[in-house]
Structure 1
Amino acid sequence: MANIKLSFEEMWEKIIACDRKYDGLFFTAVKTTRIYCRPSCRSKKPKKINVEFYDEIQAVEKAGFRACKRCQPETDVSPSIRLVQNVVAFLVHHYRERLVLQDIADHVGVSPFYLERIFKQETSETPRTYLEKIRVDKAAYLLKSTELTNLEICYETGFQSSSNFYKAFRSLTQCSPSEYRKLNKE
């Protein structure tokens, strides 16, 4: 890993700002707790005099520090990315079910507020709009490959009402399900 040549003060500013752009470029070690973190860690900030910075994970671990359980700096993927991956996998496997944010949050073990915030931060959309896209993708596939009616496809893909189905489908494909079927029949 390239040494980024930031001063102590610059690195301190990055951890106070929880700047994710610097994750992996340096690590913050807290002398009093013997724990090290990513620059983006949201844990309570230590006193400045108790902080040391390391450019490489091997160096911080060799110095006797252990990884923070919250930000998991020893992994390649941040905990928020892992959370989003778990949510997406859950949505793909349960898209047919009637899901509310609380169900999804319960599955991944976080609060609905936290889930929505992290998911939007990482994907620029909410779990609900992501689920809608999965359902529309499944509906488009069924329109092309089956003889099911639009209403059967609506319920098969987890939509709770035909009006929601038509609205979501048109919004994402710029045509109605019937028009889509005519244009894409195999």
Structure 2
Amino acid sequence: MSVTDIEWAAIKNNDKTYDGIFWYAVKSTKIFCRPSCPSKMPNRHNITVYYDKNEPGQRGYRQCKRCQPLGEPVDNEEWIKTINNILETKYAQKLSLEDLGHLAHGSPSYLRHVYKNFTGITPQQRLIELRLQAAKKELLQSNLAIKVIAGKVGIENVSYFIKKFREKYGESPLHYRKSHAKKSDS
């Protein structure tokens, strides 16, 4: 069901008069909000509107950390799951801490603080881990150039990519490809 023009206008204008009347869920982030939520404007085609406040949660959406659509604080463990989901699905895209804050509906600095306290690493460190894991798979499954693989996993600077790969796996991406390709050929 598509979003009506009235619902869309309420969301676009952060109209508080519609709070408690309907809630909107964003398919791409799996988060739901009040119409007055000040978070980044989602694409209209990614929105589903609910008139029962419990339905978004029943359908697998998590509460927005920023607007707290049910009027209660969002559990940090749930928020971390949301952040991890965003990192895992969007690791190949340009993803700054500010972008992550918008997508996870929280302030970047608070997000970083909560994430690090909960996981022991920063969201940026987790993002690099995911990118390097994807690169490792790509090195063994393709013959793409190192520069292309680096870009494909979201790291535009190939020197930085090689440095981080070496720090994580103890060898350069090219050496990794050669040494592990030989093992799989045997």
TM-score by length of 2: 0.58
What is the correspondence of 1:83-98 to structure 2 with a 5 Å cutoff? 83-98=79-94
| 2:175 corresponds to 1:179 | yes
CA distance in 2, matches of 1:163, 1:87: 28
Higher deviation after alignment, 136-145 or 163-172: 163-172
Residue identity matched to 2:165? F
CA distance in 2, matches of 1:80, 1:160: 32
| 2:102 corresponds to 1:70 | no
CA distance in 1, matches of 2:135, 2:141: 10
> How much does 1:93 deviate?
0.9
Match of 1:123 among 119, 139, 149: 119
CA distance in 1, matches of 2:90, 2:73: 28
Segments of 4+ in structure 1 off by > 6 A? none
> How much does 1:173 deviate?
0.7
> How much does 1:91 deviate?
0.9
5+ residue gaps, structure 1, are 1-66, 72-78
Partner SS, residue 160 of structure 1: coil
What count of residue pairs does the alignment treat as equivalent? Answer: 113
Match of 1:170 among 166, 170, 174: 166
Q: Indicate the RMSD between aligned Cα atoms, in angstroms.
A: 1.5
Residue identity matched to 2:73? R
| 2:95 corresponds to 1:99 | yes
Which residue pairs with 1:151 in the alignment?
147
Residue identity matched to 2:72? K
> How much does 1:112 deviate?
0.7
- Say if 1:98 and 1:160, in contact at 8 Å, map to a contact too: no
- Say if 1:144 and 1:181, in contact at 8 Å, map to a contact too: yes
> How much does 1:68 deviate?
8.2
> How much does 1:105 deviate?
0.6
CA distance in 1, matches of 2:91, 2:134: 9
> How much does 1:135 deviate?
0.3
CA distance in 1, matches of 2:147, 2:76: 37
**Percent identity between the two aligned chains:** 27
Which residue pairs with 1:39 in the alignment?
none
CA distance in 2, matches of 1:171, 1:86: 28
TM-score by length of 1: 0.58
Larger radius of gyration: 1
Partner SS, residue 131 of structure 1: helix
CA distance in 1, matches of 2:71, 2:90: 32
Partner SS, residue 155 of structure 2: coil
Residue identity matched to 1:109? H
> How much does 1:179 deviate?
1.1
CA distance in 1, matches of 2:87, 2:102: 13
